[in-house]
């Protein structure tokens, strides 16, 4: 095993007791494993070990032993995730006993296990991240993971003159260029609002720089879905941020880099009116969406279960049976795999997240808590990037999305506790003032002649 592989093994094995004793450290390390995939840069055996489990198990045990407050699991978002998890289990059971989907049952349960791990760690995150400081550290960890990718991307764009696509780390959820573009769109608001809330000047400059160079990074994933998400995020920033003038020079610099290095192949791919607008990739999406709709029409309640995109089923439902692909859409994918109820539950979860961020922004104005409002806008716009890019990408079970959901539940809980404490302090101070006034009045009256009589 190479030295860096041995070093990685030593760091992770040494982290096991820390994850147990300090579960928040485990959440941070699990986030790094999930998003940065450092194990795949170490080669050999270190890249084959189950690093997520190595981190998650002691973190979970530590949470059970050291944490007593599980109230955030009763939040609306976590309840909806639990219901969604139950529904995923039901659709998996039904599909495993349905003749049309039974041959795929092994893959279905394997995918169910993967999604279950993500949902479990989402709930664990909401319990362990119990303060604003921890929430900020978690978001900084996410930003640093993608900041490394973005920092590596800019020299790559310059050296290749934008001719090659950008990809995420291998064997990860963002390995594909489309998924990588989706993740960058979700991280753009994180960079932006970390820069706005950072007090240290040199750190603020780092966040602004990463925000600027992420824009050409999204461009050169060559993903049209990611480009749509980028437009949506930028429009959202302009509409919801008060100091809009801060965006103008940063966005112009990012677009300038993209335009200067954009080759003709990129322009042809992104031009919706060009001859290549309806290429093989676009036709493949239409084929997959038609497949999803037809399958859901036959199985509207339970769908086909996880991983129902097989050659055998494409032969039955797809217009072009030879073009077997994933759903190419979070919405069509959920529809095909979990039926109309599954899609409805997922959208209900998304709606709950938007409602919670709206609640935080509205109350933050009343309590003059600008930091809370900015974090709510950060998480809301990250969801916008996911939902728009996800229209053309099959990443319904993206761990990044569920992490954002957990952050929203945590932010709302923390803000409610903080503001309730402010209200209690305000209520306590009022009677104290009244008592002081009453005492002063009594003393004055006592000093007057004849009062004692």
Structural domain spans, the chain: 1-68, 72-128+284-431, 147-277
295 CB contacts (<8 Å, ≥6 apart)?
303, 304, 308, 313, 317, 336
Q: Cα(28)–Cα(56) distance, rounded to whole angstroms?
A: 11
Q: Are 63 and 124 in contact (CB under 8 A)?
A: yes
Token pair of 429 as six digits: 């101070």
Task: Summarize the chain as % helix, strand, coil (round to 5).
Answer: 80, 0, 20
Longest CA pairwise span in the chain (Å) = 106
Dihedral sign of CA atoms 396, 399, 401, 405 in order: positive
The pLDDT profile of the chain, 453 residues, written as one tens digit per residue, is: 567 667 777 877 888 899 999 999 999 999 988 888 777 666 554 445 677 888 889 999 999 998 888 989 999 999 999 999 999 999 999 999 999 999 989 999 999 999 999 999 999 999 999 999 999 999 999 999 999 888 887 787 777 766 677 887 777 778 888 888 899 999 999 999 999 888 888 999 999 889 988 888 888 887 888 888 888 898 888 887 776 676 777 677 766 766 666 666 666 666 665 555 556 677 888 899 999 999 999 999 999 999 899 999 999 999 898 888 888 899 999 999 999 999 999 999 999 999 999 999 999 998 889 999 999 999 999 999 999 988 888 889 999 999 999 999 999 999 999 898 888 877 665 554 544 544 443 344 344 444 333
Q: Cα(358)–Cα(381) distance, rounded to whole angstroms?
A: 12
What's the pTM? 0.87
Q: Where are the alpha helices (DSSP H) in 97-221?
A: 105-128, 132-160, 177-197, 201-219
What are the Cα distances from residue 133, in Å, to 300, 332, 409?
Answer: 44, 38, 15
Closest CA to 121 of 213, 31, 17: 31
């Amino acid at each position: 095993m190479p030295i860096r592989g041995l070093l990685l093994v030593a760091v992770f094995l040494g982290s096991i007791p820390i994850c147990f004793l300090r579960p928040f450290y485990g959440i941070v390390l699990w986030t790094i494993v999930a998003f940065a995939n450092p194990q795949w840069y170490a080669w050999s055996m270190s890249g084959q070990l189950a690093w997520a489990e190595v981190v998650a198990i002691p973190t979970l045990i530590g949470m059970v032993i050291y944490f007593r407050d599980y109230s955030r699991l009763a939040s609306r978002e976590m309840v909806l995730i639990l219901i969604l998890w139950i529904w995923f289990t039901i659709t998996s059971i039904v599909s495993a006993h349905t003749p049309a989907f039974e041959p795929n049952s092994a893959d279905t349960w394997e995918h169910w296990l993967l999604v279950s791990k993500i949902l479990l760690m989402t709930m664990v995150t909401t319990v362990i991240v119990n303060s604003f400081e921890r929430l900020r550290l978690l978001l900084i960890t996410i930003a640093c993971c993608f900041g490394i990718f973005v920092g590596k991307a800019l020299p790559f764009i310059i050296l290749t003159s934008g001719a090659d696509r950008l990809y995420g780390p291998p064997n990860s959820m963002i390995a594909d260029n489309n998924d990588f573009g989706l993740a960058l769109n979700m991280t753009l608001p994180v960079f932006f609002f970390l820069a706005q809330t950072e007090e240290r000047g040199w750190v603020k400059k780092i966040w602004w720089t990463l925000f600027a160079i992420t824009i050409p990074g999204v461009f050169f994933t060559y993903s049209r879905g990611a480009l749509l998400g980028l437009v949506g995020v930028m429009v959202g920033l302009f509409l919801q941020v008060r100091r809009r003038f801060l965006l103008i020079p940063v966005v112009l610099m990012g677009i300038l880099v993209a335009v200067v290095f954009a080759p003709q192949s990129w322009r042809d791919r992104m031009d919706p009116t060009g001859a290549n607008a309806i290429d093989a990739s676009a036709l493949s999406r239409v084929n997959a969406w038609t497949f999803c709709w037809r399958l859901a029409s036959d199985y509207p309640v339970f769908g086909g279960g996880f991983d129902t995109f097989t050659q055998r089923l494409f032969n039955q439902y797809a217009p072009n049976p030879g073009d077997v692909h994933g759903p190419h859409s979070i919405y069509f994918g959920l529809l095909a795999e979990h039926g109309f109820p599954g899609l409805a539950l997922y959208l209900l979860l998304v709606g709950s997240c938007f409602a919670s961020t709206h609640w935080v922004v509205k109350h933050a104005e009343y309590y003059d808590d600008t930091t809370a409002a900015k974090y709510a806008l950060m998480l809301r716009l990250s969801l916008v990037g996911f939902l728009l890019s996800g229209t053309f990408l099959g990443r319904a079970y993206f761990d990044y999305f569920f992490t954002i959901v957990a952050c929203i539940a945590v932010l709302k809980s923390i803000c409610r506790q903080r503001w309730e404490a402010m209200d209690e302090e305000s209520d306590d101070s009022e009677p104290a003032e009244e008592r002081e006034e009453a005492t002063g009045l009594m003393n004055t009256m006592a000093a007057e002649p004849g009062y004692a009589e």
